[in-house]
Amino acid sequence: MPSKLINLISKYLKDSPQIQSIDDEQDFVTSNLQSLALQIVTAYNNNPSKIALAFPSLYDVQLFSDYLLDFLPSEKVAIYPKDEILRLGNTSSSKEMARERLRTLYRIRNSENIIVLFNSAASLSPIDSPELFDDVAFDIEVGEVIDRDELVSKLSNEGYNRVNWVSSGFEYAVRGTILDVFSPSYDLPIRIELDDDKIDSIRLFSPLTLKSETQLTKATILPASERPVNQETAIKAKELMLKDLKSIKDSNLKLEIDEKIKDIEISSENTIKSGIVLDADESLFPYYDVKKGTIINYLKQYKIFMVSPKQFYQSQNSFKEDEISYFADNKTKGLSLPLESIYELPSVANREAHYKKIELNSLESNDGICEIPVTNSNLNQSGILLEDAKRLNLKTYACLDDKTIPTYINYLNESSYPYSMDSSIENGVTILSSSLTKGFRIKDKAEFLSSAEIFGVALKKSRFLTRYKDFKPIKKYSDLVKGDYVVEEKNGIGIFEGIQQYKGLDYITIEYADQATLMVPIKNFNNIRKYAGSEANRPSLDTIGGATWARKKAKIKSRMTFLADKLLNIYSERERIKGIAYKSDPVEEGNFAKDFPYPLTLSQNKAWNDISADMEKPHPMDRLIAGDVGFGKTELAFKAIFKAVMNGYQAALLCPTTVLSRQHFEVAKQRFKDTGVRIGILNRFNSSKEEKQTLEDLSAGKIDLVIGTHRLLSQDVKFKELGLLVVDEEQKFGVAQKERIKEIAKNLDVLSLSATPIPRTLQMSLLTIRPMSILEDAPQNRLPVKTYVCQENDGLIKEVISRELARDGQVYFLHNRIDTIYSVAGKLKKMFPNITVGVAHGSMDANQIADVMNDFYDKKIEILVSTSIIESGLDVPNVNTIIVEDSQNFGLAQLYQIKGRVGRSNRLAYAYLLYRDYDRISDEGRKRLKALKDFTELGSGYKIAQQDLAIRGSGNILGSEQAGFVDSLGYETYTKLLKEVIEQKRANEKGIKLAQKKPTKFNLSFTLDAHIPTDYASSTDRVNLYREIQDCTEENELNDLIKTIRDSYGPYPLEVRNLFKKRLIEITLNNDELFIGFEELMESFKLTLTEAFSNVKNVKEKLEMYLSPIRDSIKEIRFIDRHFILGLRRTSSYLDDLFYLVRVLSNIFDGHNRPTKLIDDEED
């Protein structure tokens, strides 16, 4: 059903000649992309039909799709995007575009009335013909008889990768009777459950929770490429390619040709095996004898419009020229074949016949749609627009999302400006719950305002290529895979060899020194930890018996004790000394919050509540806020600063670089401008006179907030009443620097901000020495940064930079060697003689850095060649491409922060991580690059730090004196030991005896079959399922897990059912108020109940009544010293009997009505 907004626009544009031209498939002129979107939406709303639009660039497609999605649901818009960087064809990259292309082809062939958008590169890219595409896509249906092995083979042949758990497109997984597939035809993966050879159910499921969500009666599975080929065609293509290669008679190229032959043989075999030509091999597609086409061949039933024809043709020709140059260069190097090609340029006559043309020209257009200039005003000044509309006699509509409407209504009420939420009013604002990318006016009729005009900030979120970005679950760090090093509590470090069964029970097998094997019962799983130390370190295996392991632990623990004292003194002293108990002022703090246009996210709200509570306590705060780049850490810091200043105290914001302090200063001036907060800056940019004045004002209390670098730590910096220190980019500061601040004011509140906490910080937080809040919600208008990992070459660099400059963007080029940075800048200047190239590095004079950075911010410099100084540099929204040379030499957390320098706006951003020679990269470097690709989705800064732990080792929690301890014990054992030491120290300080942690009260060691069979789950999954089952301590937790396992693995066999019952018995027995004893004897079980059970009203009668179903199994019921003692025989059904018994006893005790069967048994 069309929205109110669409109906309004349709009403105002009903007489537009452009809409008539769309209906009649005629050429026309319009003002710009937004006006075109309004016209397309109106035509589509009036008459839903098949419309396709071709654009010169991918950036145009992104902008236009954002405009369309302001008005239409996403299911009405389809995108067919093609990468525009020719030399990226054979590199590693994220697969969003491939998935989106296949989904669009499917929707077109499904005869949906949709609007299709594509760029000029896509119009030239050869793919299989529509007929061949239809042949390889296939349907499945509930009730259909199917051979599972044939289906698995078909998926493999169509390019799907087999994995343990499906998390992204083109993957499938097999577990017993369950087959999971992630086809691009759906937003979620599908789960197929088989009953013998018949499809019992098909359902969509969440790859994050693994739980089924929607039942389907049938599903369509698409191939994993637009270029599927059969085996015979693939074999012939391989023969042709090798023939062409071997015909090259150039002795100078013998080595290169030999390498190329190897590459062709590998890629051809992959194609023969998988049945598809991968994107990386698309240049070889001409060798495959199949009926080919382009996206145009799929659009025969569509009205096809070309937007900006001149630019479109120029773009097509440019792609073809680049391709000719690229392959000509490669042929001279023996790197390409005669027929290699990526683009297929149609003849002029042919391409003219397909399209109707749309020119964008605001001077020649008569559409009456115009832009509203975006002001930098805040909310209090936005009334100018309302008065302007009133003067022009325009109806005014405010289009906002539900989160920002209350803020705007508050403003309108305070301004006594009339408004309506239901219908348009003559002299006021009609508020619509429908956010826009930006506002517009329709001449003499209406004005539609967005957050950009109302708040001065564009809050509308771009949804371009974001369909799958949240679907990459992070593998549990504790998950075990065969071959992993593990630490067993008593015996030390060994190698995990998997699970073996012995007499119906599962045992974890661990190899120790001298190839000795230890078999640990699965019930003792929690005694085993995954080993994690420095990646380069291969720990020596311990001997079974644990003598050397015990000595090693004891030695390290004694060494920890002294340093733990030192560490605890730093943090526990803060809890003892008197600090500032700030008072809350809801009115002032509420007014300050209202001035911020973004509503706080859930995690921001929680973090702020934590900060506010800490500040109101009578001892100093020391809290870490961890959140991805742009997740709102700065606003939380400003709120804390405001609270401190309102209480009469000063605040300091410490930054790692001069540039960042300058930026924070500018942002703070804007944020605090209506509050009366006085702000100063102290860094290398200050003149002597300015610095002297700032120091005097600080000392006199004339400055409320000072922002600066480590200059703030100098002895001559005196505050009148410093109450709060905020440390930005915490990982850039050492403990010594932070302690210097604490020396200045022992009762200081400290708030630290970090996008990727370094291991030391993260570990201290996880050990609860220090409070930590995590921001997990992505900001409104951030897109994932499209990341490529590729080998460096000048052609690629030139092409990448050219594309960014073509959309009026800027580029970061990171070269981390000062001695060669100017030669790199010179090379780029030769590539782009008409472009300004700047250089920035840490050894430059402060004024030079300031000039360069300011020029870059003001767009006077288009390419900035820099060292890693940009890691915590300026926030420049116009920079949306970053190129990193020798990326394998950076730490993973470093790379993630560097990548975060782009994608700060509503534009699709790109990060190119270059390496010179993959064969020479260390294993650690390769793992860093792979991990960064895996974590391209937003919000993974915190997860990156955990991955960094695994790759780089966990660092030294207590400083350099602890070096080697992590490698000796493994990360988990080390931190566990440290925690024990700290807890003991804290107990000693308080003069109390440390309570021993109670182990699980009763663990059952049944001899019956209570395990996970090898044919039900893989070895890795079985280990982790045992862990998850054992981790359940509440009945509802276990029931949820039972449902998830049933959903993910299919019906469980008797052995798994027994395992569930065993765990539920243990959970029930661990009720201290009911059971005080449980013994497993040779022929029976003995249960001793509490005195409280004896006091239950009519307990004897209830026992007699409820135990009657298992009377024959009851060995005895005795009453001794006010305690009931029950004996249960070990009959053939003893597990069911024991389960029934403990459940009935619990029901008698508390009057609840717990089921006496497993949840799945009840459903059966």
Lowest mean pLDDT among 150-159, 303-312, 633-642, 995-1004: 995-1004
Lowest mean pLDDT among 100-109, 539-548, 887-896: 887-896
The closest of 32, 628, 2, 39 to 303, measured between CA atoms, is 39
Angle between helices 633-646 and 586-594 (to 10 degrees): 140
Strand-pairing partners, residue 581, are none
* pLDDT at position 185 over 60: yes
3-state secondary structure of 67: helix
State the DSSP H helix or E strand holding residue 955, giving kind and residue range, or none if neither.
none
* pLDDT at position 514 over 80: yes
**pLDDT (tens digit per residue) in 530-583:** 776 654 467 889 889 878 888 888 888 877 776 667 666 666 676 778 889 999
Query: What pLDDT, on a 0 to 100 scale, did the predictor assign at position 871?
Result: 56
Instruction: Please list, residue by residue across 935-955, b when 16 or more beta carbons sit within 10 angstroms of its beta carbon and e when fewer do.
Output: bbbbbbbbbbbebbbbbbbbb
The token duo for 947 is 């991955």
Helix intervals (H) in 47-128: 58-68, 96-109, 120-124
**pLDDT (tens digit per residue) in 965-983:** 666 777 667 767 777 777 7
Better-scored residue on pLDDT, 925 or 705: 705
Lowest mean pLDDT among 253-257, 719-723, 794-798: 253-257
DSSP line for 277-346: --GGGGGGGGGS-S-EE-GGGG-TTSEEEEESHHHHHHHHHHHHHHHHHHHHHHHHTT-S-TT--S----
Lowest mean pLDDT among 152-156, 469-473, 476-480, 896-900: 469-473
* pLDDT at position 1075 over 90: yes
- Please give the DSSP secondary-structure letter assigned to residue 381: G
Calculate the CA dihedral of residues 856, 862, 868, 874 and round it to 10 degrees: 30
* pLDDT at position 609 over 70: yes
- Residue in the block written with tokens 């005869």: 111
Query: What pLDDT, on a 0 to 100 scale, did the predictor assign at position 705?
Result: 97
The residues, ordered by sequence, that sit 6+ positions from 1026 with a Cβ below 8 Å of its Cβ are 506, 522, 525, 1012
Strand-pairing partners, residue 468, are none
Percentage of the chain with pLDDT > 90? 33
Question: In this structure, are residues 1045 and 1031 in contact, taking their beta carbons and an 8 Å threshold?
Answer: no
The token duo for 1140 is 């029934």
Strand-pairing partners, residue 203, are 191, 215
**Backbone angles phi and psi of 224, in degrees to 5:** -85, 10
Q: Which amino acid is at 748?
A: L
State the DSSP H helix or E strand holding residue 359, giving kind and residue range, or none if neither.
strand 356-360
The closest of 949, 94, 924, 940 to 474, measured between CA atoms, is 940
Q: Which amino acid is at 515?
A: Q
Q: Which of 144-148, 254-258, 366-370, 409-413 is the most confident on average?
A: 144-148
Separation of alpha carbons 445 and 452, rounded Å = 21
Query: What pLDDT, on a 0 to 100 scale, did the predictor assign at position 1103?
Result: 94
Count of Cβ atoms closer than 10 Å to residue 443 Cβ? 13
Separation of alpha carbons 628 and 904, rounded Å = 12
Q: What angle do CA 899, 901, 902 make, to 5 degrees?
A: 80
- Average pLDDT of the chain, as a whole number: 82
Query: What pLDDT, on a 0 to 100 scale, did the predictor assign at position 473?
Result: 34
Percentage of the chain with pLDDT > 70? 82
4-125+294-360 maps to which CATH number?
Answer: 3.40.50.300
* pLDDT at position 884 over 70: yes
3-state secondary structure of 993: coil
The token duo for 559 is 């060494």
State the DSSP H helix or E strand holding residue 147, giving kind and residue range, or none if neither.
none
Separation of alpha carbons 871 and 865, rounded Å = 13
DSSP line for 185-224: TSSS-EEEEEETTEEEEEEEE-TTT--EEEEESEEEE--S
For strands 171-175 and 178-181, give the pairing: antiparallel
The residues, ordered by sequence, that sit 6+ positions from 388 with a Cβ below 8 Å of its Cβ are none
Question: Mean per-residue pLDDT for 385-390?
Answer: 77
Helix intervals (H) in 1032-1077: 1035-1049, 1054-1069
* pLDDT at position 472 over 70: no
**CATH 3.90.1150.50 for domain 1019-1039+1046-1163:** yes
Question: In this structure, are residues 155 and 221 in contact, taking their beta carbons and an 8 Å threshold?
Answer: yes
Question: In this structure, are residues 85 and 786 in contact, taking their beta carbons and an 8 Å threshold?
Answer: no
- Please give the DSSP secondary-structure letter assigned to residue 888: G
**pLDDT (tens digit per residue) in 793-819:** 888 898 899 888 988 899 999 999 999
Confidence of residue 960 (pLDDT cuts 50, 70, 90): very low
**pLDDT (tens digit per residue) in 1014-1038:** 888 887 788 888 888 888 889 999 9
CATH architecture of 485-571+971-976: Beta Barrel (2.40)
Question: Mean per-residue pLDDT for 588-612?
Answer: 85
Question: Mean per-residue pLDDT for 126-145?
Answer: 88
Question: Mean per-residue pLDDT for 208-214?
Answer: 86
Q: Which amino acid is at 682?
A: L
* pLDDT at position 477 over 60: no
For strands 292-293 and 127-128, give the pairing: antiparallel
Question: Mean per-residue pLDDT for 400-415?
Answer: 83
Query: What pLDDT, on a 0 to 100 scale, did the predictor assign at position 551?
Result: 84
- Starting at the edge strand found earlier in the chain, the sheet holding 1123-1129 runs 1075-1080, 1084-1089, 1123-1129, 1114-1120
Q: Which CATH class is domain 786-937?
A: alpha beta
**CATH 3.40.50.10680 for domain 138-221:** no
Confidence of residue 382 (pLDDT cuts 50, 70, 90): low
* pLDDT at position 935 over 60: no
Question: Mean per-residue pLDDT for 19-30?
Answer: 92
Query: What pLDDT, on a 0 to 100 scale, did the predictor assign at position 1156?
Result: 76
* pLDDT at position 861 over 90: yes
Query: What pLDDT, on a 0 to 100 scale, did the predictor assign at position 1118?
Result: 94
The token duo for 1154 is 């717990």
Q: Count Cβ atoms within 10 A of the Cβ of residue 890 and give its class: 0-12 exposed, 13-18 middle, 19 or more buried.
A: buried
Better-scored residue on pLDDT, 332 or 310: 310
DSSP line for 460-526: PPP-TT-TTTT--PPPPTT---TT-EEEETTTEEEEEEEEEEETTEEEEEEE-GGG-EEEEEGGGGG
What distances in angstroms separate CA 1081 from CA 87, 524, 1005, 1007, 1076, one per listed residue? Answer: 72, 20, 11, 12, 16
Q: Which of 276-290, 364-378, 995-1009 is the most confident on average?
A: 276-290
Separation of alpha carbons 962 and 960, rounded Å = 5
Better-scored residue on pLDDT, 235 or 807: 235
Confidence of residue 1117 (pLDDT cuts 50, 70, 90): very high
3-state secondary structure of 618: coil
Query: What pLDDT, on a 0 to 100 scale, did the predictor assign at position 550?
Result: 87
Confidence of residue 475 (pLDDT cuts 50, 70, 90): very low
**pLDDT (tens digit per residue) in 724-782:** 999 887 666 666 776 676 676 567 899 988 765 444 434 454 445 567 787 877 655 56
Confidence of residue 344 (pLDDT cuts 50, 70, 90): confident
Query: What pLDDT, on a 0 to 100 scale, did the predictor assign at position 1148?
Result: 94
Choose the CATH number for 621-775 among 3.30.365.10, 3.40.50.300, 1.10.10.10, 3.40.50.720: 3.40.50.300
What residue ranges in 858-951 does DSSP mark as E strands?
A: 863-866, 879-884, 910-915
Q: How far apart are the first and last CA of the chain?
A: 41
The number of residues making up the chain comes to 1164
Separation of alpha carbons 631 and 756, rounded Å = 12
